[in-house]
Chain A
Amino acid sequence: QQQVKQSPQSLIVQKGGISIINCAYENTAFDYFPWYQQFPGKGPALLIAIRPDVSEKKEGRFTISFNKSAKQFSLHIMDSQPGDSATYFCAAKGQAGTALIFGKGTTLSVSS
């Protein structure tokens, strides 16, 4: 049973454009929603995260939008750059000792 569904599987965006990746979750006990960025040959690294008590969080060019009633959250990358080309994973977890559950990932290519 996949608890976090991520789309699209791959995305091609022109330099300067907006990249949007969407995720949906099922478990209402989840209370932490991070996005991880992974470059080829490296481990995933935390990019940005949100708690369900806010609807949006912005850090530089990266924004998470969160819709608690729809059980959906998304990552927006503004002014996308070739250096943003990577695989992005959404994830979710519940209380402190529970596992971080990942979506299947989105491969983003930003063309110059």
Chain B
Amino acid sequence: NAGVTQTPKFQVLKTGQSMTLQCAQDMNHEYMSWYRQDPGMGLRLIHYSVGAGITDQGEVPNGYNVSRSTTEDFPLRLLSAAPSQTSVYFCASRGLAGVSYNEQFFGPGTRLTVL
């Protein structure tokens, strides 16, 4: 049971480039989400999904796209990278039913630098 996995661990982009941050979970969790972590700002929600084919915006969605074609995968796409998107990105998942349905599990993070 690998939990929540994220790739890559580190990435450097130039302004205007696009890329996809990968996230996968093997716990059959319905709920998945993306956060960004910046110094002094805590964890801010970018997008989330309550199941395959269903996504919604969080607090800071601009500049990011998501899709959820399977229960396991929830990729985050940067359309045209900007220096303001330099951050550490965390993917998380949790179940929506069951004994411990509230517990949210986080991946190890992707550290992104946009030059």
Contact = CB atoms under 8 A, between A and B. Distances in A.
A98 B61 CA distance: 16
16 contacts: A34-B103, A41-B109, A42-B109, A43-B108, A45-B106, A46-B105, A49-B102, A89-B42, A89-B43, A93-B102, A99-B48, A99-B58, A100-B104, A101-B45, A104-B40, A105-B42
Contacts of A99: 33, 45, 48, 58
- Which among B35, B43, B103 has the highest number of chain A CB atoms within 10 Å? B43
A89 B44 CA distance: 12
Interface residues of B, number: 26
Interface string B24-54: 0000000101010000111111001010000
Nearest to B95: A96
Contacts of B106: 36, 43-45
- Which among A36, A43, A45 has the highest number of chain B CB atoms within 10 Å? A43
A83 interface: no
Contacts of B50: 97
B74 interface: no
A46 B108 contact: no
B73 to A, nearest CB: 18
Chain A, interface residues (CB within 8 Å), range: 20 to 34
B60 interface: no
Contacts of A49: 102-103
B75 interface: no
A97 B47 CA distance: 13
A43 B101 contact: no
A32 to B, nearest CB: 5
Contact of A44 (B58, B90, B97, B101): B90
Contacts of A105: 42-43
Interface string A78-103: 00000000000100010011011111
A9 interface: yes
